[in-house]
Structure 1
């Protein structure tokens, strides 16, 4: 199987040059590689939110679920807990995940749910044509803030360190090999994985020159399991000030997953279920 075999028949409606294309390509290549090594594709589930990012589900021939805006992570959590053998990937946008969905992101990291969350972070609402999001820079002149937004952006890397995420990475859509590597490592990590992907929006927030002049690769070998060192790296760039922007794996650590700590009980037989219900009703009467 190749990445092309995973394409659906749906017409692609992303803008030419959209940062969603490299993310989709990387996911196709990763899944093709995994299936070539014996991974059953039917065990992969893609959960999408609402936004331009979510169209990736339309354009790929995989099992999945369209969730409500901001609710990708609780849907993915339910799928994983009910069937721990599945590999569950959330694709979500910065508005989708860091606004309505922020509380779900924090608690999934805290609980170490064994899912991977990929944030298509173009720092703008693209589907609704150009409003600011929680990661838009200060003074961003969005459609809803023509005089410039008067809020400083959220730093998701620092937030995920505080929440206890087991795998934290950042990638950039115009550096494909690094993007693919971080996505693949995140999918392979046992436990909660978070990847913030700096994505180009060519129509409403084209930061190509800004990123190209600032990105560099983190040296990971010696510090990737050092929490204090990761905190320093996460604060190098706060998603607003003019600073160098590190890419790669920021931090990883291994811990028991939520599913391991709370295994799903074996299903009861019809007779056992009837007996349990009878006992519950007897206590209430």
Structure 2
């Protein structure tokens, strides 16, 4: 950890190729600022990215990074954290990557409560493949492949996380720079699995879920004095509210033990042989393989 790191230290020399105005710019900037503000440095940070427009983020950030295959970013992030618990591990992906092909891994990552931060850039569309409906698209959202809408209710990732036993569930908006950074800072500081579903508008293929839409519709829970994110029932009511969308920390359980705490996972696996590895780490490796 370092107190002298600036967020610009996390910028790589690669220029982003996202569309001008893409929400992913703001999402990434907030991630870099939050990492610097919490005392992390590029040398102790590992970013795992999935597939899609968001999958390029590991190239644009200066840190250890791996660009995985579609839907498999969370297992890789899990492996990295168990191999070296001293690393700050952030997993970044899109709504298609995380809540469609990757949703099975998402549920199990949540329930294991490994100490990683998962930032999902939710633009409610498949942007890289030119504008198909995604798991979080509205049921009446019209695209070239769903001209009459998908006719399916959108996935509620916050509800999935809560039902799987999530210990930190938050929602952010890439355009609210300071608030977005604050939310990711809280996620990093939480000891356990942290979900930050981030509305990151696609300016090219989604003309419904726009910057103006989120600015006008999002309710910031940080401004509600009577909201208690440790109250699971209160969180459930907000998460299942079909009339409003919320920004902020919806639920946080500080009493939940992380996987590492519960199973005594510590030490860099590069420095120990597998026979001497903590039982908790090796048990999870065996579960995967």
Question: Aligning the two structures, in what range does the TM-score lie when normalised by the shorter sequence?
Answer: 0.7 to 0.9
Cα deviation per residue 1:10-38 (whole Å; 9 max; x = unaligned)? 23211111100111111222233334xxx
Measure, in 1, the Cα distance between the counterparts of 2:183 and 2:94.
18
Kindly indicate whether the alpha-carbon contact (under 8 Å) linking 2:169 and 2:249 is maintained by their aligned counterparts in 1: yes
Residue 241 of structure 2, aligned match among 236, 245, 254: 236
Q: Deviations over 1:172-194 (max 9, x none)?
A: 12212211111110011000100
Give 3-state SS (helix, strand or coil) of 2:38's partner: helix
The residue that corresponds to 1:211 in the other structure is 214
SS at match of 1:213: helix
Q: 1:222 Cα shift?
A: 4.5
Q: Deviations over 1:180-225 (max 9, x none)?
A: 1111100110001001111111001132232222111113765210
Which runs of 5 or more structure 1 residues have no equivalent in the other structure?
A: 238-242, 273-285
Q: TM-score, normalised by structure 1?
A: 0.87
Which residue number in structure 2 is paired with residue 247 of structure 1?
247
Report the counterpart of residue 116 of structure 1 in structure 2. Answer: 117
Larger Rg: 1
Structure 1 stretches of at least 4 aligned residues deviating more than 6 Å after TM superposition: none
Q: CA deviation at 1:268?
A: 4.5
Contact 2:38 2:188 in 1 (8 A): no
State the partner residue of 2:27: 23
1:195–1:268 CA distance, 2 compared to 1 (3 A): closer
User: How far apart in 1 are the matches of 2:225 and 2:198?
Assistant: 18
Q: Which residue of 2 aligns with 1:191?
A: 192
Query: 1:129 Cα deviation (Å)?
Result: 0.6
Alignment of 1:5 with 2:9, yes or no, is yes
- The 3-state SS of whatever aligns with 1:4 is helix
Q: Do the aligned partners of 2:38 and 2:189 also contact (CA within 8 Å) in 1?
A: no
**Shift of the alpha carbon at 1:97?**
0.2
Structure 2 residue runs without a partner (length 5+): 277-289
Offset of residue 269 of structure 1: 9.4
Cα distance in structure 2, aligned partners of 1:28 and 1:42: 13
CA–CA separation in structure 2 for the residues paired with 1:3 and 1:256 = 30
**TM-score, normalised relative to structure 2:** 0.86
User: Distance in 2 between the 1:8 and 1:54 partners?
Assistant: 15
Deviates more, 1:224-233 or 1:54-63: 54-63
Contact 2:59 2:65 in 1 (8 A): no
Question: Which position in structure 2 is the counterpart of 1:61?
Answer: 62
Indicate the residue corresponding to 2:71 in structure 1: 70
d(CA) in 2 for partners of 1:148 and 1:5?
43
Alignment partner of 1:64: what SS?
Answer: strand
Find out whether 1:261 has 2:258 as its counterpart: no
Change (3 A) 1:33 1:151: same
Alpha-carbon distance in 1 for matches of 2:266, 2:192? 20
Q: Deviation per CA, 1:249-285, whole angstroms, max 9, x where unpaired?
A: 0000021111222235883599x9xxxxxxxxxxxxx
SS class of match (1:109): helix
